[in-house]
Amino acid sequence: MTKYLLISFTLFFFISCGGEASIENSEVDGVVNEKYAAGKEVYDKTCVVCHMADGNGLEGTFPPLAKSDYLLKDPKRALKQVLEGSAEEMSVNGVIYNGIMPAQELTDEEAVNVVNYILNAWGNDGGEVSIKDL
Ligand code: HEC
């Protein structure tokens, strides 16, 4: 009997710890998703097919946006790439990409919104761009 109690306490302990960690993460994501709701909407409709829901892309083909050194180094460049497309060799987090991202059919405002979303989603801390940066 004591043995069973001990097992269920241990299980309870593990489950509650795991649960807390994921609530913490989704709280952070939730705040970002709410603040940048307009940008997230564009992302989920337009970018997610290549850059994936977790922003990690597909190594060697679609570069990551989550923790991307290339993106975070020059956020204004991202705005230009979204509106005009990109077809050049680039190194993102140490991996070389030389693909083609077609110009996305978005208004200037949608482009600003989506770039502000990717600059802050998935734990990114990339600040913001504005329509003046175009
Ligand atoms: C059809 C697939 C596709 C779609 C859709 C797409 N991208 Fe890309 N994206 C790429 C590829 C491929 C590259 C690398 C381009 C190159 O090598 O010049 C890239 C590069 C980038 C980069 C710079 C590299 C990096 O990872 O930091 C950013 C920023 C970016 N995309 C943002 C977006 C955003 C925002 C959207 C939606 C508005 C979007 N992309 C939609 C395929 C796509």
Give 14-32 pLDDT, tens digit per residue.
Answer: 444 444 455 566 787 899 9
CA 80 vs CA 72, 74, 83, 88: distances in Å: 14, 11, 5, 13
Give the model confidence (pLDDT) of 76-119 as tens digits: 999 999 999 999 999 999 999 999 999 999 999 999 999 999 99
55 Cα to the center of ligand 1, angstroms: 10
Query: For residues 62 and 99, is the Cβ–Cβ distance under 8 A?
Result: yes
CA 36 vs CA 4, 46, 71, 109, 118: distances in Å: 48, 15, 17, 13, 9
- Average of pLDDT values for 55-71? 98
Is residue 72 predicted with pLDDT exceeding 50?
yes
Nearest CA to ligand 1 atom 2: 50
Among 36, 46, 48, 51, which is best to mutate for testing ligand 1, by the most ligand atoms less than 8 A from CB? 51
- Average of pLDDT values for 55-73? 98
| 108 Cβ neighbours under 8 A, 6+ residues apart | 83, 131, 134
**Look-up of token digits 């204004």:** 76
Nearest CA to ligand 1 atom 41: 47
